[in-house]
Amino acid sequence: MEQELFEKYTKTYGKRFTRKQKHKFAKALHEDMTQAGYEKTMIKGSKLIIMKAEDYFYGNRKRMKTVIVVPYDTPERKFWHKVFYFPLDGTKTMNKTLIATYVPIILLYVFILAGLYIGGNFLSAPTMANLMSFLMFVLVIFLIYLMVHGIGNRHNVNRNSSAVAAAVALAKSLDKDERQRIAFLFTDKNKGSFLGARCADEDFVKDGKNPNVICLDCIGKGDTTMIGYNPSNRKLAMEIAKCYPEKGKQIETIKLDESMRVQTAMSYFRKAVVIASGTLDEDHRLYVMGTGTSKDRDADATQITKIINMLQAYIKSQK
């Protein structure tokens, strides 16, 4: 992959948390994808009025056979020293991020209560008591904002910038015929409910489309690449795995049960597999360390290139 393209989506547009940041990214993405010969379609959806998702679809809606799905928004900042992300297991991600998500919030809440107690019982000077009350009020507002919205993380190379860069590089490499069959979908709001994925699936159903879906979720730093598949899509996973470019090695495929698909895009797309890379834990589960923290600065260029080459080979094999 071109270094300039990689830098563009991991650094220049590496923070895609606010709507303004997403729109700047979308403009750059549109330039690259239209230059490569793709048509753009917006897919929008909302939940509970305040939550809105904007997906960017590039491809031929009538002739598409396969859709490469990439989450493009970036995670919120986690104020913790160790953060685990399991791209093939939504339940394990939830369990492993409980401390990183809620302990800092609980500690801030306790600090606010302590401040209110001190301000009301130990500060006799009205000015100091009022100042303490005002400070606690500001912290309460910050606590609510942190719980509802979160703060964008500055560094997001592994999640999800490397996958975005890989998808754009793949799109640029396809010929005219392949561009008719292969589409690209960049999904929004990939936290919790995966609203962007849900909206896209509903849009496909409404349009009478049921394409094969290949999700690129966190091409993370590590020496292991795996393909997870929905129960009825083992054949698709095996066909892709056979195209892995490293001689004498076929990457592992794993069936995703219902608990593993919780809070992932795989819970919405019917004919879907997910490709991810990272490190294996003691339970043979794939994880990526440090996403949503300042540590998410470096990618494994070798793994990214191998995944791009694997998808190129798979696409050519489908002619």
Helices 162-173 and 301-317 pack at an angle, to 10 degrees, of 40
pLDDT tens-digit readout, 255-286: 999 999 988 999 999 899 999 999 999 999 99
Q: Label residue 247 by pLDDT band (50, 70, 90).
A: confident
pLDDT for 43 equals 96
Q: Label residue 8 by pLDDT band (50, 70, 90).
A: very high
Listed range (55-64, 97-106, 257-266, 306-315) with the worst mean pLDDT: 97-106
pLDDT for 119 equals 65
| Mean pLDDT, range 210-230, rounded to an integer | 93
pLDDT for 146 equals 79
| Mean pLDDT, range 292-318, rounded to an integer | 93
As given in the structure block, the two tokens for residue 64 are 């598409």
Residue 150 pLDDT greater than 70, yes or no: yes
The answer to whether 194 and 264 are in contact (CB under 8 A) is yes
Tell whether pTM > 0.95: no
Other C-beta atoms closer than 10 Å to the C-beta of 238 total 14
Other C-beta atoms closer than 10 Å to the C-beta of 139 total 17
Say how far apart CA 82 and CA 104 lie, in whole Å. 13
Q: Cis (ω within 30 of 0) for the bond into 160? A: yes
